[in-house]
Amino acid sequence: MRMIFIGPPGSGKGTQAQLLSQRLGLLHFATGDILRDAVAKDTPEGQRAKPFMTGGQLVPDIIVNDIVNARLRSKNRPVKFIMDGYPRTLAQANSFDAVLKEQGLDLDAVVFLNVGDEEIVRRNGARWTCINPECKATYNTLTRPPLTPGRCDLCQHLLYQREDDDPATIRRRLQYFHEQAAGILDHYARQGRLIEVPGRGDIEAIYASIVKALGK
């Protein structure tokens, strides 16, 4: 089986992709890992991606496409996999379609883990991190709150909220996600490959819904 996982930041798609990978024997094809691996191995594509990654910038589509394509064209190319974090744009989706066709690999499904914006803000906005650089313990006021509000259980230092977990930042990221995802979802819906699964509830219940939707 070959599939793509799409979902807003904080939707739990990484967790579900890992479960499917472990239980169905699929390679969890996380784009961030592929990029870091290309940089670590100093491949030509990795050399082009490195300045963007070290500068904290998004790696341009054409470079990400080249890295993914090189992986799929390699001798040890993955045959059964879950793509997590790619494609992020319609241009990437078109490039991915082309390389899959070239390699004779058809997609079985594109799973959209759908979670409403307010729920995403609620989940991500509940994350807090220990300010102590030697600790960096993380807490969630909804699921794993600290024993003393605002204090780390381990070292008693103050907790702070990272910029990525600030509600305003989360909403900006969600807006960007929706702008990019709309075209991708429509693209795969027209191909008849899109499966939408609600992403709220217990992890195992969501997993069961995904497996049921896949017909497994």
Catalytic residues: 13, 88, 127, 162, 173
Question: Tokens 């100093």 — which residue?
Answer: 42
Please answer whether residues 135 and 143 qualify as being in contact, where contact means their C-beta atoms are separated by less than 8 angstroms.
Answer: no
Sign of CA dihedral 173, 29, 214, 182: positive
Cα separation values, 57 from 32, 91, 201, Å: 13, 18, 33
The 10 Å CB-count burial string (b at 16+, else e) for 165-200 is beeeebeebbeebeebbeebbebbeeeebbbebebe
Please answer whether residues 152 and 130 qualify as being in contact, where contact means their C-beta atoms are separated by less than 8 angstroms.
Answer: yes
The one-character DSSP state at 24 is H
Amino acid at 102: E
Please answer whether residues 91 and 64 qualify as being in contact, where contact means their C-beta atoms are separated by less than 8 angstroms.
Answer: no
What is the rounded CA–CA span in Å between residue 128 and residue 140?
6
